[in-house]
Amino acid sequence: MVNPVTFEITINSVQGIIAITAPVVVIGVAWGAIRNDVSHIDRTLHDEIKPDLKNLRERFAVVETKVDVLWKYSSAPISSPRQLNERGHRVLAESGIDKIIDARKDMIIQEIKSKSPNNPYDAEKFIMGWMDKEFVNKFPETERQIKDGAFRTGEDELMVLFVGGIYLRYMIFPLLGFSLTDLGKKTISS
């Protein structure tokens, strides 16, 4: 029979302290390096990327405005006052937005008049914004009709509402005391 070999390891107190503190020191150094890297990333995000994102947002807003102007130009060329072109007249006739507006004319006129616009610019801006953002909220039953009109014309809902806004402006301006042919002068208010 073979005798098993036995080893005996003796660790004195200095070696024990080194064995315990070495991993703690290594972990501490690693933690410090990670913390430094995270701090550097935080500074980079705050000092370099955040200002670039703000600049990007501002530039995107400018591009969005320009695209919106180009989009509107496709149905009502930019001039003062804006007039519907051939495409705009086609959308007006085929979408039925004129009939949708006519059916609610009294309520719409009351809504617009309650804002008391002081000049043609403010009046047009309010009318166009109201058509874009509030019309369907105010008259939810029209949403399906507007979508159907958009489908018939091959346009989107916003284009139908934009063309409706131009139509509505022509209807309401005289009632507000503004003339599209004599801009800048206020006539007698109704």
Q: What is the pLDDT of residues 80-94, one digit of tens each?
A: 577 888 888 999 999
Q: Is residue 184 part of a domain?
A: no
Based on the fold, state whether residues 127 and 101 are members of the same structural domain.
yes
Based on the fold, state whether residues 114 and 60 are members of the same structural domain.
no
Average predicted confidence (pLDDT) for the chain: 79
Neighbour tally for 122: CB within 10 Å: 14
Q: Is residue 185 part of a domain?
A: no
Based on the fold, state whether residues 60 and 36 are members of the same structural domain.
yes
Q: Is residue 190 part of a domain?
A: no
Q: Is residue 121 part of a domain?
A: yes
Task: Please give the residue that has the higher pLDDT: either 171 or 73.
Answer: 171
d(CA 15, CA 172): 94
Is pLDDT above 90 for 100?
A: yes
Write down the pLDDT at residue 185: 45
Q: Is residue 7 part of a domain?
A: no
Based on the fold, state whether residues 100 and 25 are members of the same structural domain.
no
Q: Is residue 182 part of a domain?
A: no
d(CA 173, CA 185): 12
pLDDT, tens only, 123-166: 888 998 999 888 999 999 999 999 999 999 998 898 999 999 99
In 3D, which of 138, 135, 112 has the Cα closest to residue 125? 112
d(CA 134, CA 94): 22
pLDDT, tens only, 48-71: 777 777 777 776 666 665 556 555
Based on the fold, state whether residues 163 and 93 are members of the same structural domain.
yes
- 36-71 as b/e: b if 16+ CB within 10 A: eeeeeeeeeeeeeeeeeeeeeeeeeeeeeeeeeeee
Based on the fold, state whether residues 92 and 41 are members of the same structural domain.
no
Q: Is residue 140 part of a domain?
A: yes
> Which residues on adjacent β-strands are paired with residue 178?
186
Based on the fold, state whether residues 55 and 119 are members of the same structural domain.
no
SS3 186: strand
What is the domain extent for residue 131? 86-176
Q: Which 8-state DSSP code applies to residue 45?
A: I
Q: Is residue 181 part of a domain?
A: no
Based on the fold, state whether residues 115 and 136 are members of the same structural domain.
yes
Residue where one domain finishes, among candidates 51, 73, 95: 73
Based on the fold, state whether residues 46 and 127 are members of the same structural domain.
no
Cα 92 to chain centroid, rounded: 26
Write down the pLDDT at residue 187: 40
Based on the fold, state whether residues 105 and 60 are members of the same structural domain.
no
Contact of 160 with 76, CB cutoff 8 Å = no
Domain count, the chain: 2
Regarding pTM above 0.95, the answer is no
Based on the fold, state whether residues 39 and 97 are members of the same structural domain.
no
Based on the fold, state whether residues 94 and 167 are members of the same structural domain.
yes
